[in-house]
Amino acid sequence: MQDHEKRRAERRNFTYYMRVTDAASGVLIGHLVDISPNGFQLDCGKALPIGKEFRLYLDLTGEISNKSSITFSARSVWIRPDPLDPTNYKVGFQVLVMGSNDAAIFYRMFENYASLKPKR
């Protein structure tokens, strides 16, 4: 069974266009596609290695928080080609380390700004 099949937390579509970058270099890693309390999926322009730990930076909007960004650590846990655009990849991440204030913002993003996925 793959990691994304073992997930227990509900995952929701994220409809805001939010860029996720490498915290040190500022290089774009991808765009937020869906979110759960413990992780998220990015739409990425290049393949990322599975099992790599990343320090990530997420720009926030004023609707989400009065902070301009959050920074946290996450590990890539799975990757697959985008079914509509084979030059892009869907990459699943597990959140590893996030400060308590940032974790509250992340959970608020999940609760208030993500939409339920349709049942298959």
What is the model's pLDDT at position 1?
Answer: 36
**Averaged pLDDT of the chain:** 85
Contact 65, 74 (CB under 8 A): no
**Interval 59-89: pLDDT, tens:** 888 888 889 999 999 999 999 999 999 899 9
List Cβ neighbours of 2 (8 Å cut-off, separation of 6 or more): 78
**What's this model's pTM, rounded to 2 decimal places?**
0.82
**Interval 32-67: pLDDT, tens:** 989 888 999 999 999 999 999 999 999 888 888 889
106: three-class secondary structure by DSSP: helix
For every residue of 57-79, DSSP letters joined together read EEE--TTT-SSSEEEEEEEEEEE
Judged against a pLDDT cut of 90, whether residue 118 lies above it is answered with no
The phi and psi torsions of 69 (rounded to 5 degrees) equal -165, 165
What is the model's pLDDT at position 22?
Answer: 97
